[in-house]
Structure formats: structure tokens, C-alpha cells
């Protein structure tokens, strides 16, 4: 559990520090490469800036965090499921902290024509993909 806690803290610091830097420096869009840029936007919605009432976002986030925390506390350490839940949990906490202290989530990475996102979003995406892979692998093993 100590290693998972360490990973959580490092990832959360990465997320929060990059958002802070983005709020300070990326007011104007900065195109680094033709398909990647840095541009700060404040997202009050959920994924892809879908508008949802803040109370609904709070309830949904707290429910997800409670579920993930319970699983992290009761699962076998260092399984792929634990790693995936840690990434999802860290991303959810990072964005939730923004909502609590700023009122919206700071997004700043622009990639092609995708919606602008942040490291917390990357952690959530990676964790979900890892969890889906883990679940499909276990489902195949259960069938065999």
C-alpha cells in the first residue's frame, strides 16, 4: 500500500503542478508542433466539456472515489487492477481538487482536433484502458 500511496502522491503532484503552470503561462495558445499545442481553458463540465450541473458532478465524483478507495483498500497489492484503480483515482482526485478550489477544471493540452485535456484526464484514460485490458484478459482465462 505504501508504494501505491507514493505513486498516487507523485501523479497528483504532477497533475496539480502542470495545471498551476498552465494557469500562469499559457493564456495565449502556443503551438509547439502542428498537431500539439498548449492552451489553457477552464472546463466546468465533464469529459469533452459536456455541461452537467456542478452538484451532479460532485455526487458522481464522490461515489466513484468511494468505490475506488474501497477497492484499493481491499484488493491484492500490485495487481493490474490495483494499478488501474490508482490511476483512475488519482485523475479523479486531481480534477475534483480543481472543482473545489477553482470552480472548474484546468485543461491545457491540445492534441489534433481532440478536446483540450490535462494530466488527470490522461491518468483516468490510461487507468480505464488498463482496467478494460485486465478485465478482458481475466474473462478469457475464466472461459478457458
Q: Which helix (H) or strand (E) holds 32?
A: strand 30-33
Q: What pLDDT sits at residue 52?
A: 85
Residue 126 lies in a domain: no
- Number of domain units in the chain: 1
Residue 30 lies in a domain: yes
For residue 77, the 8-state DSSP code is T
Which of the residues are catalytic? 107, 121
Decide if pLDDT at 30 tops 70. Answer: no
Q: What DSSP assignment string belongs to 85-138?
A: HHHHHHHHHHHHHHHHHTSSEEEEEEETTSPPB-HHHHHHHHHHHHHHHHHHHH
Can you give the pTM of this predicted structure? 0.86
Which range has the worst mean pLDDT, 12-16, 44-48, 94-98? 44-48
Q: How far is CA 126 from CA 15, 49, 52, 70, 105, in A?
A: 14, 19, 23, 20, 19
Residue 14 lies in a domain: yes
Residue 25 lies in a domain: yes
Q: What pLDDT sits at residue 14?
A: 97
CA dihedral 33, 130, 107, 111 (to 10 degrees): 20
Residue 138 lies in a domain: no
Digit-coded pLDDT (tens) for 72-93: 888 776 688 889 999 999 999 9
Residue 119 lies in a domain: no
Structural domain of residue 85, as residue ranges?
A: 2-112
Give which of 51, 103, 115 is closest to 95, Cα–Cα: 103
Q: What pLDDT sits at residue 38?
A: 85
Q: Which residues pair with 109 in a beta bridge?
A: 38, 117
Residue 127 lies in a domain: no
What is the rounded distance in angstroms from the CA atom of residue 69 to the CA atom of residue 89?
8
Residue 72 lies in a domain: yes
Backbone angles phi, psi at 52, to 5 degrees: -140, 145
Amino acid at each position: 500500500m505504501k508504494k501505491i500511496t507514493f505513486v498516487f502522491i507523485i501523479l497528483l503532484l504532477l497533475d496539480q503542478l502542470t495545471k498551476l503552470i498552465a494557469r500562469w503561462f499559457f493564456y495565449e495558445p502556443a503551438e509547439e508542433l502542428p498537431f500539439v499545442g498548449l492552451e489553457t481553458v477552464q472546463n466546468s463540465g465533464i469529459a469533452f466539456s459536456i455541461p452537467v450541473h456542478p452538484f451532479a458532478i460532485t455526487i458522481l465524483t464522490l461515489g466513484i472515489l468511494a468505490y475506488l478507495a474501497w477497492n484499493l483498500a481491499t484488493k491484492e497489492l500490485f495487481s493490474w487492477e490495483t494499478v488501474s484503480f490508482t490511476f483512475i483515482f488519482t485523475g479523479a482526485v486531481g480534477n475534483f481538487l480543481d472543482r473545489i478550489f477553482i470552480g472548474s477544471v484546468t485543461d491545457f493540452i491540445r492534441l489534433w482536433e481532440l478536446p483540450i485535456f490535462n494530466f488527470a484526464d490522461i491518468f483516468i484514460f490510461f487507468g480505464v484502458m488498463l482496467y478494460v485490458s485486465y478485465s478482458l484478459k481475466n474473462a478469457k482465462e475464466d472461459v478457458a
